[in-house]
Structure 1
């Protein structure tokens, strides 16, 4: 992928809307935390959180929860925060989901507008043999301690599903990129699902049929206002990393026995092909580079499942032959798929 789409090349600090911290002070205090110390150590002034549309530094946001976990001696404070965090608390991003007609539309709108809510972050759907995964990962390599953010974020996203499917809904499986904590049993209780750690991304698995669920709070008028606000933020930031992430996520969603064309992705994103190409060129991006990055990322996701045959992985990535996939995989990782699996198993 071109270097401009690589988050390691981005120097500006990523931002997140302060709505993501709605209620944080209350849970910190309930756990015996000192707000002055927590906010002070994170470099955040508490009044910065008063407006849901104000921006705070994403690194400081993550540090705030990591500091709170250490100070309150509650390693699962992020997990507990996210478990009770309702979509409305996410502000405009949450309303873009629950004011949509269906869960499918809601998730698509969240994916489209996520860069306006939180920068330098991958958020999108991945297909996997009849199961869908909602994947979330901070791309900024400078933010290393992000366990609390991952756990609270997946909890938040689960509540978007419950808004459509009811309080008893549970994911099929939950994955985290960080190592398993000592008290990991609480995670399976919180999600009511199997939870695994040390994965390449944070993700929740769900059935494709879940997407058909209606959003009870569907409101076209509210959505029109939310859409206008989020689109204005997207145009203001116009971050090439965020745009590349949206395109890459959509390609991953469409990959299968065939490879989605530039025109198909442009149509899905609601853009004329020429406008889509112009925006790629404006950011110094190549569609083929993003396609290769999407296949690379999705290949690593599939390789995490040792029971998935390599021929099936190749087919799901749009390769007609295993040999073509093996050559591409060797270019990505420096080793064959077979050796990669042996090394991973060890």
Structure 2
């Protein structure tokens, strides 16, 4: 995995209930006992019908585990993406399809994706030819292979159904290992597939971003944006102090200015206040800096665009040996050995 553990934080993460609703309906059709679903979800089934209902991510993953076990279908995520039940779209999907262009739709998708899944975020990158839509897990506990297969397949099938069937993909990446049989993947995505990648990613021609969406309703779009802004203010937590410090640390790593004194100064407070407020959120400055460096180290190593010496510099280490010692403390192996162990593309 390219992301680190965060069990204490995962307990307080939530997802939209729309996929859970579809999954439960499918399992009920297959004859599962309703009480088993209720005990797994720790909520009543009718609550999944509520537009603003949020399901704890641990319960959501438990539902996927139950579904995979009950059906003995390892590709259940792909199958559900082709299920007629999935024609019922959520709020974020409606905003996407009512945006003026594909580019603006993806911008809104990225902006509001935390309403769909608080454990992941969207990153969009472009090069000269292609756009990369990355589904990035913030903690390894939130990664669910069946769920990500369902998410990517559903995204592709909806775009083809509601926009244009000729918007083909260049490649699809999955973070998890390849299954023994990928024929169902080939049927849906119809492009080169890669597994064991840094992030799960949809890759398509950059020129598609200018595509005007055919079913757009400007009036509905404005209403939807107004509603989702109101909803996000109610259910999304304000950014924590820890996250603010983390963002500041990330901006200062390569400048070798990640001592507590400098970070506190940049945040207009004393070092003592910095320490105290981090402690109140259950983390020390030293541990947070270590966490930031570890996350960035994985990201740089998996991109494969920097030498080990450059990565050490970008992470704020004085020399390569200091980075190597830290990485071995995090993982048990050296960064050089980690690179050799990665699957070759």
TM-score by length of 2: 0.69
Pick closer, same or farther for the CA change 1:40–1:177 going to 2, 3 Å: same
* 1:341 equivalent in structure 2: 339
The reply to whether residue 119 of structure 1 matches residue 118 of structure 2 is yes
Pick closer, same or farther for the CA change 1:156–1:182 going to 2, 3 Å: same
| Alignment partner of 1:203 out of 201, 204, 209 | 201
* 1:261 equivalent in structure 2: none
Distance in 1 (CA, whole Å) between partners of 2:133 and 2:115 is 18
**Aligned ranges for residues 134-283 of structure 1 at < 5 Å?**
134-143=133-142, 146-162=144-160, 165-236=163-234, 237-240=236-239
Pick closer, same or farther for the CA change 1:136–1:25 going to 2, 3 Å: same
Gaps of 5+ in 2: 251-266, 269-273, 279-288
**Deviation of 1:108 (Å):** 0.4
Q: Please tell me whether the aligned partners of residues 93 and 110 of structure 1 are also in contact (alpha carbons under 8 angstroms).
A: yes
Distance in 2 (CA, whole Å) between partners of 1:107 and 1:138 is 18
| CA offsets 1:226-249 (integer angstroms, 9 cap, x no match) | 2122222332323427x969x98x
* 2:45 equivalent in structure 1: 46
Query: Higher relative contact order at CA 8 Å, sep ≥6: structure 1 or structure 2?
Result: 1
**Deviation of 1:296 (Å):** 5.0
Q: Please tell me whether the aligned partners of residues 196 and 343 of structure 2 are also in contact (alpha carbons under 8 angstroms).
A: no
**Deviation of 1:292 (Å):** 7.8
Distance in 1 (CA, whole Å) between partners of 2:320 and 2:103 is 34
Q: Please tell me whether the aligned partners of residues 87 and 95 of structure 1 are also in contact (alpha carbons under 8 angstroms).
A: no
Pick closer, same or farther for the CA change 1:198–1:294 going to 2, 3 Å: closer
The reply to whether residue 299 of structure 1 matches residue 297 of structure 2 is no
Give the alignment's Cα RMSD to 1 decimal: 4.5
Q: Give the greater-gyration-radius structure (CA).
A: 2
Pick closer, same or farther for the CA change 1:340–1:212 going to 2, 3 Å: same
Task: State the number of aligned residues.
Answer: 302
Q: Please tell me whether the aligned partners of residues 131 and 206 of structure 2 are also in contact (alpha carbons under 8 angstroms).
A: yes
* 1:23 equivalent in structure 2: 22
Pick closer, same or farther for the CA change 1:23–1:342 going to 2, 3 Å: closer
* SS across alignment from 1:172: strand
Pick closer, same or farther for the CA change 1:293–1:97 going to 2, 3 Å: farther
Q: Please tell me whether the aligned partners of residues 11 and 58 of structure 2 are also in contact (alpha carbons under 8 angstroms).
A: no
Distance in 1 (CA, whole Å) between partners of 2:44 and 2:322 is 48
The reply to whether residue 71 of structure 1 matches residue 70 of structure 2 is yes
Distance in 2 (CA, whole Å) between partners of 1:331 and 1:88 is 51
Q: Please tell me whether the aligned partners of residues 170 and 204 of structure 2 are also in contact (alpha carbons under 8 angstroms).
A: yes
| CA offsets 1:91-113 (integer angstroms, 9 cap, x no match) | 11101101100011001001111
Gaps of 5+ in 1: 1-5, 252-276, 304-308
* SS across alignment from 2:178: coil
Pick closer, same or farther for the CA change 1:164–1:170 going to 2, 3 Å: same
